[in-house]
Structure 1
Amino acid sequence: MRTEIVRNLTTGREKSVPAPVDIAPPGEKIDPDSSANYFNRELSQLQFNYRVLKQALDTTHPLINRLIFCCIFSSNMDEFFEIRVAGLRQKIKYGRDAPGADGIMPEQVLNEISRVAHEYIDEQYDILNHVLIPEMKEQGIHFVRRREWTPEQAEWVRNYFKEEILPVVSPIGLDPSHPFPRLVNKSLNFIVELDGKDAFGRETGMAIVPAPRSLPRLVRLPDEICNGGENLVFLSSMIHAHTDELFPGMQVKGCYQFRLTRNADLELEDDLEDLASALRGELLSRRFGDGVRLEVADNCPQELVQFLLTQFHLEHRDMYQVNGPVNLTRLMAVTDLVDASDLMYSSFSPTIPRQVQKQETLFDAIRKRPILLHHPFQSFSPVVDFLRQAAKDPQVLAIRQTLYRTGADSEIVEALADAARRGKEVTAVVELRARFSEAENLELASRLQEAGVIVVYGVVGYKTHAKMILVVRREEGVLRRYVHLGTGNYHAVNARLYTDYSYMTSDESVGDDVNKLFQQLTGMGKALKIKKLFHSPFTLHKRLLRLIKRETELGEKGRIIIKVNAMTELQLIKALYRASQAGVRVDLIVRGICSIRPGVPGLSENIQVRSIVGRFLEHTRVYYFENNGAPAVYCSSADCMERNLLSRVETAFPIEEPKLVERLREDLDIYLADNCQSWMLQPDGSYIQNLPAEGEERVASQTVLLERLTGQS
């Protein structure tokens, strides 16, 4: 997005703001091809991260959950720098720095990222230090700083340092025989200023102390040396207090924490002979990729900051001086260290539909009519039970499943292994390249192979992102296929944190389609004709364009609702612009990155974009087309991004049962009515949170769905 710099006349501080939008004269239409009509994807992703940070100030969330949102912001920013910023730097490094659809060059984007990210991170630490920590102190949870330690606490810390830290820490003096160490990505480290000579007469003046990754970043002080409440101390404070013990006989002039973020994106060739072996090698190098960001304590002298920047080949814009711990993500440990259940969301019990409860097996329930589950409000257990029952059922002959993010110790993996050990034909398409889950997927692939499962790694060059299970069962001498299709991963933990849809059916055409998709993934040959499903990289993109065009031809009678995690694919955006220009009402519910510019007269005045950010991570993907009163509705594993629609294996599956179509529309309407957790994207690129007007009923979509589907809040 285009931005301008303005100065606050009250504080004198400068801040970047979206630039004014060009609009067409009345009655004229804007050319959808203009670069001014598209927001930059990296800057849009930054804005999503900021909406997550803002949850830390939302007092409708319990206090500990607000702290967790602050930590999630840090985690999101880590990945943003590891992948998106690293990618921009790579483009510049290798001369591929062409402007994007928004017309902005990568170098300009990096400058704007630096400006905006510095503002957001400054605000994050301001929220932590002046809002969250004081409020937690009021609730009896204390982060005890060094200057606040009592003599008893200081003595306890000294003993802890000697017994737990000193034996495992390895200080590194910098001299010709000890060059600057190669530090692990995102590890906590200290740069230490020294005065004096060591035992060998060396006078280096500087050392690096890597904090052992095996040690907790937060430690609870014993209750008997505290005056009530829950008392926590930072590992960094302990190391700061006793750095001199790491360098006996020398004077420690200063000790400052820092943290380096590296490029963590894996680059694999398309013509690999052994994907698993190549991936194992790349995982080792991920920890030591090129530096992309330096975080350092705000009291670190500038000469030391410059020394670190030089070591990591970074510029001043890549440096973030912070007022607090440089690794805030590790603050999530608070939930395990304190007894504060009253300061967190209470647990809830996901429900299981009566249709499932009434039947003896999942096969009986699915055969009666298709099942649609909305996680986390409805339990993920029927999906697990579907596989467990299939593994044990003597009538089941074969099971096929795609696995993207699952977890090596998951019940689903165990069910597949059990089925293979019982002699069933079991095939697992394991996507090894699921970002940051690669090591886990390598492990689960090995476990499955050991149990006798046929493991396939999909198609090189096309990530297998589709979520599919196919069970083949013999019933009265005839083979029947049972299918599960989902918008999310087969990960039981995520199913409690993410919103997703699971669809289970025995529809013959759907079963035949899924069977053909597995044939394409595990075998070779031409793309097979699919009847009901859309699938990328073959039909999904053009079918969506066709559905948008059909609504466009209806003009003002047209209606489109799309709920996805990201919207960046240019042809799809242009099609939506043309639909808006034809009078079609378009509602987009886009959680994160959104490149479309809504509400611009002559271009997108009929398009609204909102983002839902709340207790759960919105992850459902739904494509709804009114179709002149005969709705066409698809759930999907795919977002509206070029990679999903054109260079991955994805599915979009139709929801045809009238009651399920009605239910999906009701869910979408709840999101569209949200006036608490929704943020509206403005024509200038900013987001404004929807808030209930005076006297207006509060509608928090996730709370409404939780109450409706579980009877709890």
Structure 2
Amino acid sequence: MRLDFLTHHDFMNRELSWMAFNERVLALSQDAGQPLLERANFLSITQSNFDEWYMVRMADLIRDIQAGDDKKDPAGMTPQQQMNAVRHAIRKQLRHQYRSYEALKVALSNVHLPILPVADLKAHDRAAVRQIFQQTIQPQLVLKTMDATSLSEVSNGTINFVVGHTRDADWTTFALPATTPRFIRVPGPNSRFVTTTDVMTTYIADLANNLADKQVYQFRILQDMSMPILPKSTTDVVDAIQAEVDKRATAPAINLTVSAQMPAELKRHLQQVLGVDRLHVFKVKGPLAYDFVTELNDLLKQEDQAAKFAFLHYHPYQPHQVKALTGADIFDNIVAQDYLVHHPYDSYDAVLSFFQQAVHDDMVSEIGISIYRVSHDSPIVAALTQAAQAGKHVVALVEIKARFDEPNNLKLVDTLQAAGVTVFTSFPAMKVHAKMAYVVRDGRTIVHLGTGNYNDKTAHFYTDFGLFTADEPMAADVRRVFAYVTGQASQPQELADIRIAPNMLRTTLIEQIDEMIAAADAGKHPKIWFKVNSISDQELIERLYIASQAGVHIHLLVRGIATAMPNLPNVSENIQIRSIVGRLLEHSRIYLFRRDKEDVTVYLASADAMPRNFDRRVELLFPIHDAALKHRIRKIFRQMWSDRAQSFNKTRNGRYVRRKLKADSDPVPVQERLLIAAENEND
């Protein structure tokens, strides 16, 4: 068992792995087996994924290159080499997005939901659409002379127009307001649509007489939205994060996307004035971005056509109601036994009830929670404020550094403090990503630990586990972790049950892997099963390679980034990597170690297997002790691993290949099967 012969070919670059993930999502937008408007949703998701990745990860790469950093990643690539490779993948993905959009338009037309060019409408329909434009959109538009000042005011992610002629010195520019609908319904008995951008281009002369017969082009920018790590010496984290949020409006542009027809000289002018490197300028056919396609759903609802076109969506489902966790006796039930919930198959009402019942239970004296992301009208936040106003001691750790949720969480701090909640805001240089809550009832601590956020909205389409327990060692660990993250105590070096990052989490997983290696050396048949969003920690991956060489069979179920490479000769022959992308976003984290049939260790976690989670965040890894609950998790993993309807295999060259159905395999995707099974439990 050696590592000294490992080369950069034994690892995949993180950014290219992310691009491969977004390609898998894009594949679902092209999958005729998916309901049509869900395919449109997948196309929209690829755009929001791409934008966030560019504004953060690409921004970091640009900074590394500008700083002269030539350090190689585990795949042997310098930042500049990564940039070059990623740009090639981006161009390929932009072409795939366009083809997907064009195919969607054909499919929508086939079900009588056409997206039509304005030029193809009859004269009376064009007149009606023009009137809608003049009355509802034109008043929102602010025309400006295109110069350095007007271009400096361009907002991140908005669609912008430039109007003029190459022989003219003056160009006019204006933005499509973010609140403007991107589709206009053509009046009439049928559901027909035109895009707002097409209407604006067609009737540009309506905006001003001098715009008649001028050329119209579009452009869009993305800005550097990364958030720097605060110095450890920062004394006021709230003020520091607010200052960084305020800077975003004037952050430098790092990406420019323009219409394919835009003249080269105009493109160069925009690039130079906006300060975008030419390597980050992209000409595209069709729309500049595809985040708008889901607006068709809203239009159909406004027309009361949602029921008519329900077949274009996934069928609705009723989650399993865990009755023991939704009544006034919830805390007595948890004291009696541990409960495991698997969302969204099990209703999120169980989590809501945990907080809501704590408000009304006179025996509950204290409530604590760590918050990373919550919904805008969160019933959990409502319960916390109600409890504080009722005189209960409520403690909330709000991680205000949650990416792109910083403004929401800054407001949340004010809301909670105004209600009398004791609020803490974590460490300057480290995020608290742990998902934990507790209540103290009649002197006993009862806890909830999860793999996902306390967000009642995303809980409907993110898969996550939650554990309710009153186990005293685990409850004591939770209280010690709370004391640490709220600044009341130093970081615990030892805990009875829970393991935390930084310091403990990677070490614990490697210790478990080493035990599997020892079991293989002893002639047993150990297995390692991980289910994570991403795996990119080099030290952990290298130890998995050693385990593979020792004969340990390793299954990695990874939704997103996987820099580990499977099935490499003499390196990872016993490692298989699969990815499930589908109706639900696979968000739960499982770390399972099987020495033999009766000796299995199961952990759930808030953390993925990434350096940031192990080294720069406070995370929880918590064991499942109850045999029945461990069995349930193992069964769920096996069901997901065996899926052939919505999963991809990663090959030894880094490509992902859609698994094919066999004659005896279930054609129903595993997520759908689990939803049906959960619904049947209500009968």
User: Normalised by the shorter chain, which TM-score bucket?
Assistant: over 0.9
Structure 1 residue 458: Cα displacement: 1.1
- Distance, in Å, in 2 between the alignment partners of 1:260 and 1:179 is 14
Gaps of 5+ in 2: none
Match of 1:117 among 81, 86, 90: 90
- Distance, in Å, in 1 between the alignment partners of 2:5 and 2:577 is 17
- Distance, in Å, in 1 between the alignment partners of 2:112 and 2:258 is 29
Report if the CA contact (8 A) 1:174-1:204 is conserved: no
- 2:583 aligned partner: 615
- Distance, in Å, in 1 between the alignment partners of 2:329 and 2:213 is 69
1:504 partnered with 2:473:
no
Which digits, 9 at most, give the CA deviation of each residue in 1:652-672, with x for residues without a partner? 111110000000000000011
Structure 1 residue 112: Cα displacement: 1.0
1:536 partnered with 2:507:
no
Structure 1 residue 708: Cα displacement: 2.1
1:485 partnered with 2:458:
no
Report if the CA contact (8 A) 1:374-1:500 is conserved: yes
Structure 1 residue 420: Cα displacement: 0.2
Give matches, 1:164-183, under 5 Å: 164-174=136-146, 180-183=151-154
Q: For 2:214, give the aligned amino acid.
A: K
- 1:136 aligned partner: 108
Q: TM-score, normalised by structure 1?
A: 0.91
For the structure 1 residues 250 and 660, does the alpha-carbon distance in structure 2 shift closer, same or farther, using more than 3 Å as the test? closer
1:266 partnered with 2:227:
yes
- 2:370 aligned partner: 402
- 2:517 aligned partner: 552
1:658 partnered with 2:658:
no
Q: For 1:378, give the aligned amino acid.
A: D
- 1:21 aligned partner: none
For the structure 1 residues 566 and 582, does the alpha-carbon distance in structure 2 shift closer, same or farther, using more than 3 Å as the test? same
Q: For 1:183, give the aligned amino acid.
A: V
Give matches, 1:148-547, under 5 Å: 148-174=120-146, 180-194=151-165, 204-223=169-188, 228-270=189-231, 271-338=233-300, 339=305, 340-356=309-325, 360-474=328-442, 479-528=443-492, 529-547=494-512
Report if the CA contact (8 A) 2:223-2:255 is conserved: yes
Which digits, 9 at most, give the CA deviation of each residue in 1:325-361, with x for residues without a partner? 213102211111122222101211111135436x642
- Distance, in Å, in 2 between the alignment partners of 1:147 and 1:643 is 52
- Distance, in Å, in 2 between the alignment partners of 1:696 and 1:341 is 28
Secondary structure in structure 2 of the residue aligned to 1:180? helix
Structure 1 residue 175: Cα displacement: 5.3
Q: For 1:314, give the aligned amino acid.
A: V
Report if the CA contact (8 A) 1:407-1:440 is conserved: no
Q: For 1:294, give the aligned amino acid.
A: L
Report if the CA contact (8 A) 2:159-2:218 is conserved: yes
Structure 1 residue 695: Cα displacement: 4.7
- Distance, in Å, in 2 between the alignment partners of 1:533 and 1:195 is 66
- 1:10 aligned partner: none
For the structure 1 residues 32 and 547, does the alpha-carbon distance in structure 2 shift closer, same or farther, using more than 3 Å as the test? farther
Structure 1 residue 98: Cα displacement: 1.6
Secondary structure in structure 2 of the residue aligned to 1:400? strand
Secondary structure in structure 2 of the residue aligned to 1:345? coil
For the structure 1 residues 696 and 390, does the alpha-carbon distance in structure 2 shift closer, same or farther, using more than 3 Å as the test? closer
Which digits, 9 at most, give the CA deviation of each residue in 1:579-636, with x for residues without a partner? 0010000000011000101101110000000011111000010000013331110000
1:644 partnered with 2:613:
yes
Report if the CA contact (8 A) 1:407-1:441 is conserved: no
Structure 1 residue 547: Cα displacement: 0.5
Secondary structure in structure 1 of the residue aligned to 2:382? helix
Structure 1 residue 318: Cα displacement: 1.8
Report if the CA contact (8 A) 1:195-1:252 is conserved: no
- Distance, in Å, in 2 between the alignment partners of 1:307 and 1:599 is 49
For the structure 1 residues 672 and 462, does the alpha-carbon distance in structure 2 shift closer, same or farther, using more than 3 Å as the test? same
- Distance, in Å, in 2 between the alignment partners of 1:103 and 1:267 is 26
Q: For 1:253, give the aligned amino acid.
A: K
- Distance, in Å, in 1 between the alignment partners of 2:344 and 2:632 is 16
- Distance, in Å, in 2 between the alignment partners of 1:301 and 1:250 is 18
Secondary structure in structure 1 of the residue aligned to 2:445? strand
Secondary structure in structure 1 of the residue aligned to 2:282? strand
Structure 1 residue 206: Cα displacement: 1.4
Report if the CA contact (8 A) 1:568-1:596 is conserved: yes
Structure 1 residue 707: Cα displacement: 2.2
Report if the CA contact (8 A) 2:28-2:39 is conserved: yes
Q: For 1:659, give the aligned amino acid.
A: A
Which digits, 9 at most, give the CA deviation of each residue in 1:281-338, with x for residues without a partner? 2223223322222222222222222222222333444222222221310221111112
Structure 1 residue 712: Cα displacement: 9.4
- Distance, in Å, in 1 between the alignment partners of 2:489 and 2:455 is 31
Give matches, 1:27-42, under 5 Å: 31=4, 33-42=6-15
Q: For 2:237, give the aligned amino acid.
A: L
- Distance, in Å, in 1 between the alignment partners of 2:483 and 2:341 is 27
- Distance, in Å, in 2 between the alignment partners of 1:241 and 1:571 is 57
Greater shift in the superposed pair: 308-317 or 380-389: 308-317
- Distance, in Å, in 2 between the alignment partners of 1:350 and 1:273 is 45
- Distance, in Å, in 2 between the alignment partners of 1:285 and 1:221 is 41
Report if the CA contact (8 A) 1:173-1:206 is conserved: yes
Greater shift in the superposed pair: 484-493 or 152-161: 152-161
Secondary structure in structure 2 of the residue aligned to 1:509? helix
- 1:11 aligned partner: none
Greater shift in the superposed pair: 284-293 or 33-42: 284-293
For the structure 1 residues 250 and 554, does the alpha-carbon distance in structure 2 shift closer, same or farther, using more than 3 Å as the test? closer
For the structure 1 residues 617 and 440, does the alpha-carbon distance in structure 2 shift closer, same or farther, using more than 3 Å as the test? same
Secondary structure in structure 2 of the residue aligned to 1:660? helix
Structure 1 residue 545: Cα displacement: 0.8
For the structure 1 residues 343 and 158, does the alpha-carbon distance in structure 2 shift closer, same or farther, using more than 3 Å as the test? same
- Distance, in Å, in 1 between the alignment partners of 2:665 and 2:503 is 47
Which digits, 9 at most, give the CA deviation of each residue in 1:40-59, with x for residues without a partner? 00000000000000001222
Secondary structure in structure 2 of the residue aligned to 1:626? strand
1:61 partnered with 2:34:
yes
Secondary structure in structure 2 of the residue aligned to 1:470? strand
For the structure 1 residues 712 and 123, does the alpha-carbon distance in structure 2 shift closer, same or farther, using more than 3 Å as the test? farther
Q: What value does the CA root-mean-square deviation take over the aligned residues?
A: 1.9
- Distance, in Å, in 2 between the alignment partners of 1:449 and 1:533 is 30
Q: For 1:118, give the aligned amino acid.
A: R
Report if the CA contact (8 A) 2:372-2:454 is conserved: yes
For the structure 1 residues 175 and 66, does the alpha-carbon distance in structure 2 shift closer, same or farther, using more than 3 Å as the test? closer
- Distance, in Å, in 2 between the alignment partners of 1:32 and 1:379 is 49
For the structure 1 residues 392 and 39, does the alpha-carbon distance in structure 2 shift closer, same or farther, using more than 3 Å as the test? same
- 1:19 aligned partner: none
Report if the CA contact (8 A) 2:129-2:184 is conserved: no
Q: For 2:178, give the aligned amino acid.
A: R
Report if the CA contact (8 A) 2:462-2:587 is conserved: yes
- Distance, in Å, in 2 between the alignment partners of 1:179 and 1:356 is 56
- 1:710 aligned partner: 679
Secondary structure in structure 2 of the residue aligned to 1:95? coil
- Distance, in Å, in 2 between the alignment partners of 1:95 and 1:468 is 41
